[in-house]
Chain A
Amino acid sequence: MALPILAFVLVYLTSLIALFISSFWSVDPFTSEMTHVWNLDNYRELWHSSAYRTIAVRTIGIAAAVTIADAILAFPLAYFMARIAGGRSRALIFVAVLLPLWSSYLIRVYIWRLILAHDGVLNWTLGKAGLPAANIGYTNWAVWLIFTYMWLPFMILPVYAALERVPESFLEASRDLGAGAWITFRRVLLPLALPGLVAGSIFTFSLTLGDYITPLLAGGASSQFIGNVVDDNINNQLTPFAAAFATVPLVVMGVYLLIARRLGAFEAL
């Protein structure tokens, strides 16, 4: 019984390790064959090239910006679901949050391309309202907005779960002891909801970090993510360099998960 699982884990693990090992090899520029000579050239190139550094910073920066935007959008809605909405409307909102999550990834990128296009819904609406056109289609703003849209449900659900577990008596106690709404939020509600927020941020951050389809379809000339460079290199048979660059999001995510565990996010998942 354990055999197929073992085989499965082995195949997957061997591929991962082989990929990692290949990042220390190189490709002969004339024959396009991989040469199995150990070296750190790929990592050195990554470290010294300002172009790759810019791409890494852009990827991590947009992932962080998406996470912050999602937290701000999600928290009040999660609070509304957990503590204000009645049973029926809560179930309804639950479905309304889940459904976009289940609909096709590509379709959701595509519709935003149409909305943000020069002659799309956004500019039409702005025009009707007498505002100047916002030409953010095919820019980093578009990439940020679309990622924020895509991963928002992943933030709402764990924050909702965390808020639902906060006993009402804690908030009452805080008020009875003379705390105002802001202090109660800041000192009681937020710390208790923090594991949920961090759990959601694992999704929003890591999903953005590893993506390259949205920048490809909805970004501009300067919207390349780490994933795009990895993809390009694989297509040009430069697996070692692709493997080396792919370790960057992995290391970033590893550090992030360590911090998240200290903040208690895994109990909230």
Chain B
Amino acid sequence: MESRSTRIALTVWSALVLLFLWVPLALIMLYAFNKSSVESWPMPGFTTHWFHAAWTSEVRESLWLSVRVGLTATAIALVLGSMAAFGVARFRFFGRDTVSFLLVLPLALPGIVTGIALNSAFVVGNVALSTWTIVIGHATFCVVIVFNNVLARLRRSSPSLIEASYDLGADGWQTFRFVIWPVLSTALVAGGLLAFALSFDEVIVTTFTAGVQNTLPLLILGYIRLGQQLPVVNVIAFAMILLTAIPVLLAARLMRDTGVLRGGATH
């Protein structure tokens, strides 16, 4: 065991690091109530006026676009990602290692490389930039997220489970419903959530695959760069931080349920 002074030092350091992580988030939530539209500190007073003012058609449209893009990219990712994971986990085929390596590239490469590569491909192929090109751009890394999650789960579960199910007389659908689905569902939910969150927040790939479309991050980026509509940015920040709490708490639950995060003391 650590000495008493070491424990105190570690506790204090940990508290400071957590403060470092959280003070900025707390501040931005406070700024949403700033009476002034000049973001200096201390704030002259509080108001809830901006919450109403932030619900502009511009914000609504880009929010709706971001949701649509996120859902579509996630849906594509769930289908392609889990199919690829099944293929890599269950079958041996020529080029299997190459496929699993290539599928990690969109995450390993900086967003700007993926972005400009797709951008020049669209230009060369005469594809007009649209909502769909954004979806394709986002799908590149969303597929990888789902692929990794599902593959990790498949590797941890034994293929003999499925054989046993067939041996006991279950048909294909029953095996899927009662054996494969319970094993995979949490991995799919976790992968899907993460994929959606990454798509919803993506800036760099979007700038290179969007035409005139403004996703929510692109709208915010524009506001911040020009120093316009900052009270609106504050309100969006407030809402987004509250919203992200939902998937995080859910994911923490999932992890606890699947034993990734052990609840009890381990020593």
Determine which of A12, A210, A257 lies in contact with B110 in the assembled complex, contact meaning CB atoms within 8 Å.
A210
* Cβ–Cβ < 8 Å partners of B10 in chain A: 76, 79-80, 84
Q: Contact at B124–A18, with CB atoms within 8 Å? A: yes
Q: Contact at B87–A104, with CB atoms within 8 Å? A: no
Q: Is the interface of A mostly helix, strand, loop or mixed?
A: helix
Map CB proximity to B onto A84-101 as digits: 1 under 8 Å, 0 otherwise: 101100110111111110
* Chain B proximity of A123: nearest CB distance (Å): 8
| CA A225 to CA B199, docked complex, whole Å | 24
Q: Contact at B21–A106, with CB atoms within 8 Å? A: no
Q: Contact at A121–B41, with CB atoms within 8 Å? A: yes
| CA A140 to CA B245, docked complex, whole Å | 31
Q: Contact at B24–A119, with CB atoms within 8 Å? A: no
Q: Contact at B224–A110, with CB atoms within 8 Å? A: yes
Map CB proximity to A onto B112-152 as digits: 1 under 8 Å, 0 otherwise: 11101111110010000000000010011001000000000
Q: Contact at A111–B84, with CB atoms within 8 Å? A: no
- Cβ of B256 under 8 Å from chain A: yes
Map CB proximity to B onto A213-237 as digits: 1 under 8 Å, 0 otherwise: 1001100000000010011001000
- Cβ of A15 under 8 Å from chain B: yes
Q: Contact at B204–A12, with CB atoms within 8 Å? A: no
Q: Which of B205-241 contact A (CB under 8 A)?
A: 208, 217, 220-221, 224-225, 233, 236-237, 240-241
Q: Contact at B112–A152, with CB atoms within 8 Å? A: no
Jot down 30 A-B pairs with beta carbons below 8 A, ordered by A: A4-B83, A8-B80, A12-B102, A12-B140, A15-B120, A16-B109, A19-B116, A76-B13, A80-B11, A80-B14, A84-B10, A87-B262, A90-B261, A94-B261, A96-B22, A99-B244, A100-B21, A107-B240, A110-B224, A111-B24, A124-B42, A149-B20, A181-B2, A217-B224, A227-B110, A239-B120, A246-B110, A249-B110, A250-B110, A250-B113
* Chain B proximity of A20: nearest CB distance (Å): 9
Q: 16 more A-B contacts (CB under 8 A) besides A84-B2, A91-B252?
A: A9-B103, A12-B105, A76-B13, A76-B17, A84-B11, A90-B261, A96-B18, A102-B197, A106-B224, A109-B224, A120-B40, A152-B21, A181-B3, A206-B110, A246-B113, A246-B116
Q: Contact at B225–A217, with CB atoms within 8 Å? A: yes
- Cβ of A193 under 8 Å from chain B: no
- Cβ of B158 under 8 Å from chain A: no
- Cβ of A212 under 8 Å from chain B: yes
| CA A217 to CA B203, docked complex, whole Å | 13
Given the known A-B contacts A84-B11, A111-B28, are A15 and B233 also in contact in the complex, defined by CB atoms under 8 Å? no
- Cβ of B108 under 8 Å from chain A: yes
- Cβ of B57 under 8 Å from chain A: no
| CA A111 to CA B25, docked complex, whole Å | 8
Q: What 7 pairs across the A-B complex have the smallest Cβ distances?
A: A210-B110, A15-B121, A119-B40, A15-B117, A80-B14, A107-B237, A102-B244
Q: Contact at B203–A105, with CB atoms within 8 Å? A: yes
Determine which of A115, A217, A243 lies in contact with B27 in the assembled complex, contact meaning CB atoms within 8 Å.
A115
Q: Contact at A119–B41, with CB atoms within 8 Å? A: yes
Chain A residues within CB distance 8 Å of chain B: 1-2, 4-5, 8-9, 11-16, 18-19, 22, 73-74, 76-77, 79-81, 83-84, 86-87, 90-91, 93-100, 102-115, 117, 119-121, 124, 149, 152-153, 164, 168, 181, 206, 209-213, 216-217, 227, 230-231, 234, 239, 242-243, 246, 249-250, 253, 257
User: Looking across the interface, which residue of chain B has its beta carbon closest to that of A4?
Assistant: B80
Q: Contact at B217–A73, with CB atoms within 8 Å? A: no
Chain B residues within CB distance 8 Å of chain A: 2-3, 6-7, 9-11, 13-14, 17-18, 20-22, 24-25, 27-28, 31, 39-42, 79-80, 83-84, 87, 99, 102-103, 105-106, 108-114, 116-121, 124, 136, 139-140, 143, 197, 201, 203-204, 208, 217, 220-221, 224-225, 233, 236-237, 240-241, 244-245, 247-249, 251-252, 256, 261-267
* Cβ–Cβ < 8 Å partners of A121 in chain B: 27, 41
Determine which of B11, B17, B40, B106 lies in contact with A12 in the assembled complex, contact meaning CB atoms within 8 Å.
B106
* Chain A proximity of B11: nearest CB distance (Å): 7
| CA A18 to CA B114, docked complex, whole Å | 12
| CA A94 to CA B254, docked complex, whole Å | 13
Q: Contact at B24–A9, with CB atoms within 8 Å? A: no
Q: Contact at A87–B263, with CB atoms within 8 Å? A: yes
